[in-house]
Amino acid sequence: MKRKRSGFIAKVIIIISIVLSIFVGGFFFLDKVIVPKYFGTYGIYNVGDLISVVSSLYSSPKESDIVTNGYSSSDLVNAISKLQAANYKIQDDGTIKSQDIDNFKGDGKVTLTDCEFAAVCDKLIENGMLKNALPSLNYLNVINISVLEFSVDPDEDSLDVADNTYSKAHVKFIVKIETTDIRDQIAKQMNTPMYLLKIIIPDNLYFSINYDIDLNDPVERYSNGDISINGKNPKQSEILINLLIEFIFPEEADMDIEKFTKTIGDVAMKGIDALGTFKFVSGIGLSGRRNGITVSATEVVKSQQ
């Protein structure tokens, strides 16, 4: 009996050893061969790096920690009231009466705080007004983008004392992207199982963009741009964003992190362009301590004639 029992235990130990060997060998193959082969380009060289990337995507702080200058419902109400006073075709609930940007524009000048503009920009996206203006983002489905914050810090050296406006400013812009459609697209495009994408890509991604704007530059308004994801700093975000770009955009899109930064930043700039010709302002709002933009729709009409 003891001999049979010891023989059974020996067989169990052998089976366990084989399973462990297969597991260890598989892990070694994954760690040393598979991961470096497919992800080494993005700075992911082993399973540990891959786990770090995935955990970074999922360990984002609360939205309230990322968004420090968010807008309220009263900001939207104030913005709509100002736009209606200037004959912009927008209803009290934020619905835009015309899908044609030129027909949407009013005939007066409007001054919006940074928070008021963020609220309007979100409504422009919701109404589908920016879809054609942002072709590079069609891969992301523009409608799934929500504007959370727009902050303006005017450059004092660019002050025009004649009308107290600024032609240069540092801008911070935060958007949230819902990834449901993106994951469906990637699954088809890369022939990747959906369950793996759900593990890698969370339901929501938060992108924070910082850049300088020079309205006097007719060729390139943007400079010194950087982008971060889910509350990380730009350096920590580089691998994550390059990986997402590879997943989301086809090769013919010719997308890289610099172009992606500008593309996301364009959500704000195209939103302002949809309102008219603009400059930056300071000392506005009920408290007189907000920064923002002043927009003239009539100047756009003249410049196009």
Compute mean pLDDT per 10 residues along the chain, 305 residues long, and list them: 46 48 58 68 71 67 86 94 92 79 81 95 84 70 80 95 94 88 72 67 86 87 89 81 78 84 86 90 89 82 35
Per-residue model confidence (pLDDT) at position 191: 65
Angle at 248 between CA 212 and CA 242, to 5 degrees: 55
CA distance 303 to 203: 42
Distant-in-sequence, close-in-space partners of 198: CB < 8 Å, separation ≥ 6: 183
Per-residue model confidence (pLDDT) at position 189: 66
CA distance 233 to 249: 23
Nearest to 123 by CA among 143, 102, 138: 143
Per-residue model confidence (pLDDT) at position 209: 92
Per-residue model confidence (pLDDT) at position 292: 95
CA distance 204 to 159: 39
